Amino acid sequence: MSVLVDDDTRVVVQGITGGEGKFHAEQMMEYGTNVVAGAVPGKGGQEVAGVPVYDTVDEAVEVENADTSVIFVPPAFAGDAIFESLDTDLDLAVAITEGIPTQDMARVNKRLTETDTRLIGPNCPGLITPGEAKLGILPGNIFASGDVGLVSRSGTLTYQVVDSLTNRGIGQTTAIGIGGDPIIGTDFVDALELFENDPDTKAIAMCGEIGGEDEEEAAAYIDEHVDTPVAGFIAGRTAPPGKRMGHAGAIVSGSGTGTAESKINALNDAGVPVGDTPEEVADHVESFLE
């Protein structure tokens, strides 16, 4: 079992004719993902990475029964590409693109309240159900199939924690990178809800970072609604206020909100142990599964 993606998922890649889009479409297929089409305006009729390209997502859905899109469209056009996938009523859209203007995402955010399509990202590595399918750019070889649900705001930090788990023989049901931007689709609470409702997920690891209040909201949600044991990690304990640490969302504001301390305290209060190092997160998860 898994959440959101499995080997039945039928994927259309938006931006498949670009360098990144083509490379990762091939990588996804090599991993076993059922990529059925590409969608790029003006490139309909071509074949890329062995799949047909359509001018619109709508056509890819009509002809190839795509139900999920992965978006590798450059930032200037990515907001529009997300709207296209939302308006086509796909089940899931995964936006990998980094650097989408925030006001474009505010408009997308409004649209998300009017549609059933779920958005993951943007500025995220995507998600993977080990052994079945991956959507995005995660390196498949470090993952293993198993019992742990993982959700993270950061790509490479996800890899670090997954590596620690896999090296101990602990596999994952699904790992979701939700992205490091200030405005994202699926957030921690949404992902936690999915894992809580998945009978095969026996433990959850969540990797947050400084900035915003998503981790605090997640802690409150865990306290009320989550019985599956959760272990946490928060990056950015040493970040000074007012300095943005890479991700647009990772900033402790001058007035002191978004600090690592506030997030760690909130999680601890909800019964979630927070590791000082990625290895300690794996220690906690291991102890949950014993």
Partner 1 sequence: MDMKLHEYQAKQVFADAGVPTPESKLASDVDGVVAAAEEIGYPVAVKAQVQVGGRGKAGGIKLVDDEQEAREAADSILGMDLKGYHVDRVLVEEAVDFTNELYVGITMDRGEGKPVAMVSTKGGVDIEAVAEETPEAIAREHIDPSFGMHPYQARKAVYDAGVPGEIARDVSSVLTTLYQLWSDRDGADAEINPLMVTSDNDVIAADAVMNIDEDALFRQPELAEMEDEAASGDALEQKADEYNFDYVRLEGNTGIIGNGAGLVMTTLDLVDHYGGEPANFLDVGGGAKADRIANALDMVFSDENVDSVVFNIFGGITRGDEVAKGINEALEQFDEIPKPVVVRLAGTNWEEGMEILNEDLVTVEQTLEDAVQRAVEYADEVNEQ
| Catalytic sites, residue numbers | 247
Show the CA angle centred on residue 212, arms to residues 189 and 275, nearest 5°.
70
Positions in 203-232 near partner 1 (CB under 8 A) = 207, 209-210, 212-213
The residue count for binding partner 1 (CB under 8 A) is 61
- Name, in order, each residue with C-beta under 8 angstroms of 282's C-beta and a sequence gap of 6 or more: 161, 164, 165, 168, 170, 275
DSSP string, 15-32: TTTSHHHHHHHHHHHHHT
Rounded to a whole number of angstroms, the minimum distance from the CB of residue 46 to partner 1 is 24
Q: Does 149 bind partner 1 (CB under 8 A)?
A: no
Q: Does 153 bind partner 1 (CB under 8 A)?
A: yes
Q: Which of 6, 58, 147, 163 is close enough to bind partner 1 by CB under 8 A?
A: 163
CA distances from 105 to 43, 73, 82, 83, 108 (A): 26, 14, 9, 10, 5
39 bridge partner residues:
14, 54
Size of the chain, expressed as the number of residues it contains? 290
Question: Checking DSSP bridges between strand 68-71 and strand 47-48, what pairing results, if any?
Answer: unpaired
CA distances from 26 to 8, 23, 38, 142, 252 (A): 17, 5, 12, 18, 39
Neighbouring CB atoms inside 10 A of 281's CB total 24
Closer Cβ to partner 1, 118 or 153, answer by number: 153
Q: Does 144 bind partner 1 (CB under 8 A)?
A: no
In the numeric block, the tokens 């989550």 are attached to 226
**Identity (one letter) of the amino acid at 276?**
D
Positions in 88-107 near partner 1 (CB under 8 A) = 98-107
Closer Cβ to partner 1, 32 or 256, answer by number: 256
Q: Does 178 bind partner 1 (CB under 8 A)?
A: no
Question: Checking DSSP bridges between strand 47-48 and strand 51-54, what pairing results, if any?
Answer: antiparallel
Of 197-205, 220-228, 247-255, 263-271, the window that binds partner 1 (rule: CB under 8 A) is: 247-255
CB of 120 closer than 8 Å to CB of 93: yes
Q: Does 239 bind partner 1 (CB under 8 A)?
A: yes
Q: Does 289 bind partner 1 (CB under 8 A)?
A: no
Q: Which of 80, 197, 237, 287 is close enough to bind partner 1 by CB under 8 A?
A: 237
Positions in 250-279 near partner 1 (CB under 8 A) = 250, 253-256, 276-279
Site string (14-53) toward partner 1, x via CB under 8 A:
----------------------------------------
Closer Cβ to partner 1, 220 or 245, answer by number: 245
Q: Which residues bind partner 1 (CB under 8 A)?
A: 75-76, 98-107, 109-111, 125, 137-139, 142, 152-160, 163, 180, 182-183, 207, 209-210, 212-213, 233, 235-240, 243-250, 253-256, 276-279
